[in-house]
Copies of this chain bind each other. A is one copy, B any other.
Amino acid sequence: MAAPKTQTLERQEQITQAALDLINDQGVSGLNIAGIARRVGIVPSALYRHFVSKDAVLDAVLDLIRQRLLDNVAHVRKKTPVPLNQLKLLFTRHIVMLRENRAIPHVVFSDAVYNGQPDRKAKVAQIITSYLKEVEFIIESGRQDGTIHKEVVPATAAVMFLGMIMPAVVLWNVSQTKFDMTAHINTAWPAYERSIAVQIPKEAS
């Protein structure tokens, strides 16, 4: 009962997705060739027809993650032209995304990244910084149109934007999903907005 033959390109996508799913369930340390193969429906050795090594699979997963993150930004841009609304939307969408893809923080924080080849580390650095650049860009356009304070330093504000998300996700993960993300979104966002927006929004509590 051999698995049906499938073009490498398609298999690579299946394998990458399966790897992401596996990491969602078991973390990066739970990522193993046999597990991936099982999910795809092939035998472990067959995987090597499509990837030269396990490391190569991890790199593909990183590419997938980058794509998802940037797609997110693009989607938000289309949704509304107002910088502050874009940020708010990006904030909630990003949190929802990380909730559903626990693999993302897993990979980004994993030892495979922190202590693997410098290439991989650089790749993650590039993913994060390009995401930050997008956020900075939104903030900068807010400064231009006068909705965001001129004194705000875009780079710092972007890092702090990430700072609303990162600890929340970590707490949520560590607390067996008990940490109330919705409540966090509802209180953190106004605080963030207050610190960068020019005028307090209509309903000032």
Interface residues of A, Cβ cutoff 8 Å to B: 26-30, 102, 105-106, 108-115, 118, 121-122, 124-125, 128-129, 151-153, 155-157, 159-160, 162-168, 170-171, 173-176, 184, 187-188, 191-192, 194-195, 205
Q: Which of B26, B176, B191 contacts A156 (CB 8 A)?
A: B191
Residues of B within 8 A of A187 (CB): 153, 155-156
B174 touches A167 (CB 8 A): no
Besides A29-B111, A118-B176, A124-B174, 9 more A-B contacts (Cβ < 8 Å) are A29-B112, A105-B109, A106-B114, A109-B170, A129-B171, A159-B164, A163-B165, A191-B195, A194-B195
In the bound assembly, the distance between CA atoms of A90 and B153 in angstroms comes to: 23
A164 touches B166 (CB 8 A): no
In the bound assembly, the distance between CA atoms of A112 and B205 in angstroms comes to: 43
A115 touches B27 (CB 8 A): yes
Closest chain-B Cβ to A6's Cβ sits at a distance in Å of: 30
Interface centre among A28, A174, A187 (most CB of B within 10 A): A174
In the bound assembly, the distance between CA atoms of A194 and B191 in angstroms comes to: 11
A–B Cβ pairs within 8 angstroms, 5 of them: A105-B109, A110-B111, A125-B171, A159-B171, A160-B192
B159 touches A168 (CB 8 A): yes
Closest chain-B Cβ to A141's Cβ sits at a distance in Å of: 19
In the bound assembly, the distance between CA atoms of A170 and B170 in angstroms comes to: 13
In the bound assembly, the distance between CA atoms of A109 and B168 in angstroms comes to: 13
Closest chain-B Cβ to A110's Cβ sits at a distance in Å of: 7
B160 touches A121 (CB 8 A): no
In the bound assembly, the distance between CA atoms of A188 and B162 in angstroms comes to: 12
In the bound assembly, the distance between CA atoms of A167 and B125 in angstroms comes to: 12
In the bound assembly, the distance between CA atoms of A26 and B116 in angstroms comes to: 9
Residues of B within 8 A of A109 (CB): 105, 109-110, 170
Closest chain-B Cβ to A140's Cβ sits at a distance in Å of: 15
B170 touches A115 (CB 8 A): no
